[in-house]
Structure 1
Amino acid sequence: MPARRIPRVKSCLTLPNNAQRRAHVVNVLRGEDLGPVVQDEHHTFHARKDGSKLPLPPVLDPIAVEKRWRWKQQKEKPGVAGFTPFQKKLLENPYAHVLASPVRIDRSLSTLLPSALLLTLHIKPHPKTLEPWLLPLSLSTPNPPKYLGPPLRFLAHSHNVAYLTARKEIWKKVLSQRFIPFLGPRGMAQLVWRKDMPEMLLNMLRARVEDKLAWFFKWRGRLVPVASPSSADTEDVEDVACFIFLGSLRSRADAIHDEADAIAAQADKWSDYFRTGYGKFFDPHITPPAHLPKATHHPPPWFQLVVPRLAPRAQFPPLECPTTRWRGRKVAVYSLTDMLGAERAEALIAETRYEGERCWVMKQGRQTVDVQMMLGQLASYLALPGPVWWPRL
């Protein structure tokens, strides 16, 4: 007789699929409800009738609950009235706010930077085609929602944005893995990066600065007019945060710098042309020398034909922003003509109480921290490399 399969006995602890699972709230006993207890420095014990002590569980132990709650309660907001002079000075420093912003990664440079130095793009569907587009919603939306989807962050500089835009879909290589489950394979294939991304970001940064500065130029007293940013004209002014100058700070050296950049770009163009067209004649794996046999192996993945180029340190030295001296320390000077353009700068000053003046001092204070950060971000976006300084070895 064939053996019959014995059914497995279900556990009485398992619930059927349609059974409701109810959460039971544990009532934590307090005070006299615990009964006779004995406490020492670290624990609470239940006093038994025979004189022995039974330790209470951490959930019921008042000492353990108090120590655990100490780390869970929220900290009180600091009162500005009780700040020390150093704390007040730190609160009014825009550079301290930039460095205190959350650190995020720029995948195009593989560098961790404060988020105030980065530009962020989020996904937004096109109103007609519903295709996902990468757009700076934090700059275009006045009150953006708390969560806008996975972000794409990169350094807020025009050269970096131009690099991501010019190269063939190089921006797709710097997307994080969170975009894949958010969009899916089809959405990743339809994701759009605008070809005019550098100009669009520049216009948005300019519009944000114009909107903020319009409030300062609306009433007299928000800014202090001075003759020039030189230390001789500003020695008597107190609490200088930065200078706003109506006029260009560019010199003949900047024009020479632009010509040098054009020559370097032309040299890189011919270098790439030589490597693409004639590189196979200099590759030992494809065209070996006459005294050597032909290679029988494929080139390793790291192999690349080296073509002479201008040294990156000489081509891209550290960026330089205009500054001046005020009572022994450096103070930023922001040129409205260089950052906004001559027409937009004149339109910003026109028909205001400050019309006819060319230089103003922005005082240090909590009300000017935001506008200083916006001016610094726009100046960093447009900043050009300064002169190369080679240290002596």
Structure 2
Amino acid sequence: MPPYTTPFICLRCLRNQRNVVTSGPKHGLRNIVRELATSAEDGSVSNSTSPDSNNTTTVTARYVKGEQRTYKRREQGHRPLPLPPIMDPIAVAARERWKQPKPYPDLKNITPFQERLYKNAWAVALATSKRMCAVTLARLPSHFLLELRPSLHPETKDPWLLPTVYHSKASATPDVHNDFPPARTVMRHDFVHWIRLKKRWRDAVNVRLATRLDNVLGGGSIKRLVWREDMASLVGERLGAVVMRKLTWFLGRNGSRKFTMPGIEDIEEVDGVAAVLFLRPLTSPKVKELEDAVAKVAEDGAFMMGAFDNLVDDYRKERGEASGSHFDKSLRPVLPRLQPSLLFPPLKWRTMRWRGKEVPVYDLVELLGETRCKELVKGTWFEDFGSVVLREDSKTVSAHLALIQLQNYYAKSIA
């Protein structure tokens, strides 16, 4: 093997490198920018020629600010060398220019069409950022998704997956679960109840959340994650509390007709109707009883059909035959592929006509319960009225968004 030899090092190169390479906190990007600004203000500058341009540039005590790059002066009259892009203020400013968020429009200088969009709760809901449900892989606006974050149990210290997005904003202590990335699912009562079975809710825990749990709480913490048995009712209760808090402020302003109007007798004369809130039940007890009976018969019929199919499958397995449904495929209804509304029927929303267009109707007794509904209008001007008109205004959008979430959570399919 050849003997080990020391490589030749040029002392002049080392001396030049010592003058170029900067280390330590005093040579950071902030200090370079500060020195350039201070020198320009004090007037301690001189004219020189930039290596990348024939125009005159500003020379400070240590740096040369060119048109496209920043250069560091060297001793003994050597030509300046460019700074690396990570420390060059010009390069950093050019890079961050494309990362700046788009500024919000000035509400004082908007067009009439933009003003209508800001007052429309449905437009605001659809304009929220798009996110994906990890269970169904459906991409929806975040307004229609349920956001869950882990929270440590005060006694067992196990992580619980809770809808912390609906916690009160006015809290003296910071929210601990904000450190974890959220898990999102479809915000529907039946769906939240369904994913509780067979622990399907674990599919909602994304990779980022699982990794963060392991880093903070240790390995295997995903197995200790707890899903509440009453999660479906808990989410509905939280959504109802948000609606109560939003509507209390508007219904408490008895003398103001800018946001609310009592009764629907003169609704055609009211401008800007956003929604109609009914303080009396829209469905009679007899009709409600019949609807529940029909739903129970349909559920029992589907269960019996599935149970009979299982019995037929067991019988065919015993005889060595292929398993399958005992119903003839020709007798089943054929759904056209170009009409997905027949296979996935839309939700049932109540509406009423106002000046030629449909206005949403909300039954507060059905959504909040009779006790909460009476508490909402107790001692207010609307206590003796059976309905309230919610007017279209930028301040009523938050209350309307809360009503949309609550009704969408409990909405049933037409079929």
TM value normalised by structure 1: 0.75
Map residues 1-393 of structure 1 onto 2, 5 A cutoff. Answer: 22=24, 24-25=27-28, 27=32, 35-36=48-49, 44-46=53-55, 58-60=68-70, 71=98, 75-143=102-170, 145=175, 147-165=178-196, 167-184=197-214, 185-220=219-254, 221=256, 222-228=259-265, 233-250=266-283, 255-282=289-316, 287-288=320-321, 305-306=324-325, 317-386=345-414, 388=415
> Is the partner of 1:319 in helix, strand or coil?
coil
CA distance in 2, matches of 1:70, 1:160: 43
AA aligned opposite 1:235: E
CA distance in 2, matches of 1:168, 1:319: 26
Deviations 1:186-220 (A, max 9, x none): 21111111111111111111111111111112121
Contact (CA 8 Å) 2:69, 2:90: kept in 1 or not?
Answer: no
CA distance in 1, matches of 2:294, 2:390: 35
> Is the partner of 2:139 in helix, strand or coil?
strand
Aligned CA distance change for structure 1 residues 225 and 182 (closer, same or farther; 3 Å): same
TM value normalised by structure 2: 0.72
CA distance in 1, matches of 2:227, 2:105: 43
> Is the partner of 1:120 in helix, strand or coil?
strand
Deviations 1:225-266 (A, max 9, x none): 1245xxxx3111111111111122236666544333322322
AA aligned opposite 1:175: V
Contact (CA 8 Å) 1:226, 1:360: kept in 2 or not?
Answer: yes
Aligned CA distance change for structure 1 residues 74 and 373 (closer, same or farther; 3 Å): closer
Contact (CA 8 Å) 1:120, 1:138: kept in 2 or not?
Answer: yes
Contact (CA 8 Å) 1:59, 1:65: kept in 2 or not?
Answer: no
Aligned CA distance change for structure 1 residues 352 and 198 (closer, same or farther; 3 Å): same
* Per-residue deviation, 1:279: 2.4
CA distance in 2, matches of 1:65, 1:105: 33
Contact (CA 8 Å) 2:279, 2:387: kept in 1 or not?
Answer: yes
Number of aligned positions between the proteins: 348
Contact (CA 8 Å) 1:247, 1:338: kept in 2 or not?
Answer: no
Percent of pairs identical after alignment? 30
Q: Which runs of 5+ in 2 are unaligned?
A: 15-21, 57-65, 72-88
Task: Say what the alpha-carbon RMSD is for the aligned residues.
Answer: 3.9
CA distance in 2, matches of 1:63, 1:4: 49
Aligned CA distance change for structure 1 residues 74 and 213 (closer, same or farther; 3 Å): closer
Aligned CA distance change for structure 1 residues 280 and 65 (closer, same or farther; 3 Å): closer
* Per-residue deviation, 1:74: 5.7
Contact (CA 8 Å) 2:185, 2:204: kept in 1 or not?
Answer: no
Aligned CA distance change for structure 1 residues 348 and 278 (closer, same or farther; 3 Å): same
Structure with greater helix percent: 2
* Per-residue deviation, 1:283: 5.1
CA distance in 1, matches of 2:5, 2:298: 81
> Is the partner of 1:325 in helix, strand or coil?
strand
AA aligned opposite 2:131: R
* Per-residue deviation, 1:373: 0.1
> Is the partner of 2:396 in helix, strand or coil?
helix
Equivalence for 2:81: none
Deviations 1:112-152 (A, max 9, x none): 00001111111001111111101111113425759341212
> Is the partner of 2:276 in helix, strand or coil?
strand
> Is the partner of 1:104 in helix, strand or coil?
strand
> Is the partner of 1:267 in helix, strand or coil?
helix
CA distance in 2, matches of 1:66, 1:362: 48
Q: Which runs of 5+ in 1 are unaligned?
A: 14-19, 48-55, 290-303, 389-393
